[in-house]
Amino acid sequence: MVVTRFAPSPTGYLHIGGLRTALFSYLWAKKNGGKFVLRIEDTDKARNSEEATQAILKAFEWLGLEHDGEITYQSQRDAIYTKYIQQLLDEGKAYKCYMSKEELTELREMQMANKERTKYNGKYRDFDGNPPEGIEPVIRIKAPLTGEIVVRDGVKGNVSFQAQDILDDFVIARADGAPTYNFVVAIDDHLMGINEVIRGDDHLSNTPKQIVVYDALGWDLPKFYHVPMIHNSNGKKLSKRDGATDVMAYKEMGYTPEALLNFLVRLGWSHGDQEIFSMEEMQELFNPKDINKSASIYNTEKLDWLNAHYIKSTPNDILAELLVEYGLTLTSHDKKEVLLDALKERAKTLKEMAELVKEILVTPESYDEKAVKKAFKGDAISILNAFGAKLTAGKSHLPSDYHALMEEVVTEMEIGFGKIGMPLRVALLGKMGGPNIDVVMAVIGKEETMLRIAKVIATQESQETATR
């Protein structure tokens, strides 16, 4: 069974890059009928917070990415790590190092001065004398001194490292006994049964160290997939310092989970020419072997397009529910269908859609100057009056009713459609853009329509008087 994982350290919100690797891991587990588990890497007590953990969980909930089983917290597993550290110590595969921080710093500075690679010199690797007084030792693992470590990576291929180039006896437990990252990752991944590790390729150079741990414990390696970074527009690794990388910010901006996930799955991964993927399709088609080798630049142009696409294809009742989040309650509005049908074609985000609806529902306070100039240069007022008369007398319920009324005026007065359309648009919306006015009228109703027409006429007439 395929078991994948997502292992964030709770130092802040969930960001786009993390979400993408989480998505890849999730999809791959689902595709194989396996498990996707969550591990919170909260060993650095100073930088971690419970709020951050909750924020990450909340983001997962919003996106509908469910993890399997209980969440593992590294902070609760000290006993386990201690046990394996002791085992390695007992087996002579790890040892206590009494080098002080000062001594270590000195060593490093000397190496740097000689333009050598900075590495631990193995002073205590085979030490059996009396340890120096007053120093709490760290535990170092005995790493191979020579030879080759090959990372068999499902994305990058076989990547080989020379032991003498990259390895030294790295610390697996600090002076206070706390285990270090590369050690606990290997322990946890193994113990949690994780056999397919999908993570950012910034971890590729950590992998040899983790392999050292696996080897020391005699464990089988998982399959690794190192996915390329997402870069910002400067070409650097996308970080929390880059704007708009908080996943939940996308909810606030009015993006749908479907759009965001679809956008992210196509960043660094593709399936031929296909652009639109439902969650079901992603689960069916995703395969980490199709992940790109090169980094991609984060650019949300396509996200907007996808979001618009998903809004267009969302049923109205669901849309109405989603819109509540953006301060728009129209569940009881009798023209809900007409309204949403007209607006879902024109909004890029849910937030924008909510604003568009409000624009229609609220009587314009002022009129766009340019629009007025364009719309009211002829006998617009008399045309509006004629239309007003038709309204009073005629049937008016559906957009088509209003449209028919407009047609009548146009025919009778022998004018173009624009002659009535433009002033009416200004009366209703206060500007030139916007949805079809017959829809607007149907939504706000006959009374409000007449009110808005009267208002614009009054405004225009008073202005004419003023300029005279």
Stretch 215-254 residues interacting with RNA (CB under 7 A): 228-229, 231, 234-237
Element (H, E) at 28: helix 16-31
The nearest distance, CB 92 to RNA, in angstroms, is 21
Do residues 197 and 189 touch, judged by C-beta distance below 8 A? yes
- Residue carrying the six token digits 């568009």: 356
How many CB atoms are closer than 10 A to CB 350? Answer: 26
Q: Phi and psi dihedrals of 68, rounded to 5?
A: -95, 140
CA atoms within 13 A on the CB side of 284: 5
Instruction: Specify the stretch interacting with RNA by CB under 7 A; choose among 84-92, 296-304, 324-332, 379-387.
Output: 296-304
Instruction: Specify the stretch interacting with RNA by CB under 7 A; choose among 27-35, 376-384, 413-421, 455-463.
Output: 413-421
Using the rule CB under 7 A, is 266 a contact of RNA? Answer: yes
Total residues at interface with RNA (CB under 7 A): 83
Q: How far apart are CA 131 and CA 136, in angstroms?
A: 10
- Collect all residues with Cβ–Cβ distance below 8 Å to 39 and sequence separation of at least 6: 5, 6, 7, 71, 72, 73, 74, 188, 192
The nearest distance, CB 399 to RNA, in angstroms, is 9
Hey, is 238 helix, strand or coil? coil
Do residues 232 and 245 touch, judged by C-beta distance below 8 A? no
Nearest to 195 by CA among 28, 70, 40, 17: 28
Using the rule CB under 7 A, is 77 a contact of RNA? Answer: no
* Residue 240 annotated in active site: yes
Using the rule CB under 7 A, is 109 a contact of RNA? Answer: no
Sign of CA dihedral 329, 16, 38, 282: positive
Using the rule CB under 7 A, is 170 a contact of RNA? Answer: yes
The nearest distance, CB 7 to RNA, in angstroms, is 8
Convert 114-145 to b/e letters by CB count within 10 Å (16 or more is b): eeeeebbebebeeeeeeeeeeeebbbbbbbee
Using the rule CB under 7 A, is 165 a contact of RNA? Answer: yes
Using the rule CB under 7 A, is 104 a contact of RNA? Answer: yes
Using the rule CB under 7 A, is 78 a contact of RNA? Answer: no
Do residues 112 and 151 touch, judged by C-beta distance below 8 A? no
Out of 16, 22, 65, 99, point to the residue binding RNA (CB under 7 A): 99
Stretch 308-337 residues interacting with RNA (CB under 7 A): 308-309, 312
Do residues 364 and 430 touch, judged by C-beta distance below 8 A? yes
- Residue carrying the six token digits 């994982």: 5
Using the rule CB under 7 A, is 111 a contact of RNA? Answer: no
Instruction: Specify the stretch interacting with RNA by CB under 7 A; choose among 29-37, 173-181, 252-260, 328-336.
Output: 173-181
- Residue carrying the six token digits 């407009």: 406
Using the rule CB under 7 A, is 85 a contact of RNA? Answer: no
The nearest distance, CB 219 to RNA, in angstroms, is 20
Q: How far apart are CA 278 and CA 269, in angstroms?
A: 15
Q: How far apart are CA 127 and CA 98, in angstroms?
A: 10
Task: For residue 164, give both structure tokens.
Answer: 């003498």
Helices in 362-435 by DSSP H: which ranges? 369-375, 380-393, 399-413, 417-429
The nearest distance, CB 232 to RNA, in angstroms, is 9
Out of 57, 89, 163, 166, point to the residue binding RNA (CB under 7 A): 166
Out of 83, 152, 174, 397, point to the residue binding RNA (CB under 7 A): 174
Q: How far apart are CA 163 and CA 182, in angstroms?
A: 16
The nearest distance, CB 443 to RNA, in angstroms, is 13
The nearest distance, CB 185 to RNA, in angstroms, is 8
Out of 254, 268, 288, 430, point to the residue binding RNA (CB under 7 A): 268
Using the rule CB under 7 A, is 305 a contact of RNA? Answer: yes
Q: How far apart are CA 12 and CA 299, in angstroms?
A: 22
Using the rule CB under 7 A, is 161 a contact of RNA? Answer: yes
Stretch 428-467 residues interacting with RNA (CB under 7 A): 432-438
Out of 181, 195, 221, 253, point to the residue binding RNA (CB under 7 A): 181
Using the rule CB under 7 A, is 377 a contact of RNA? Answer: no
Which CB atom, from 189 or from 438, has the smaller least distance to RNA?
438
Do residues 421 and 439 touch, judged by C-beta distance below 8 A? no
Which CB atom, from 228 or from 254, has the smaller least distance to RNA?
228
Instruction: Specify the stretch interacting with RNA by CB under 7 A; choose among 211-219, 292-300, 331-339, 383-391.
Output: 292-300
Stretch 390-409 residues interacting with RNA (CB under 7 A): none
Using the rule CB under 7 A, is 13 a contact of RNA? Answer: no
Instruction: Specify the stretch interacting with RNA by CB under 7 A; choose among 23-31, 79-87, 123-131, 175-183.
Output: 175-183
From 240, 302, 446, 455, the catalytic residue? 240
Residues 24-53 as x/- pattern, contact with RNA by CB under 7 A: -----------------x-xx--x------
Which CB atom, from 222 or from 228, has the smaller least distance to RNA?
228
Active site residues per annotation? 240
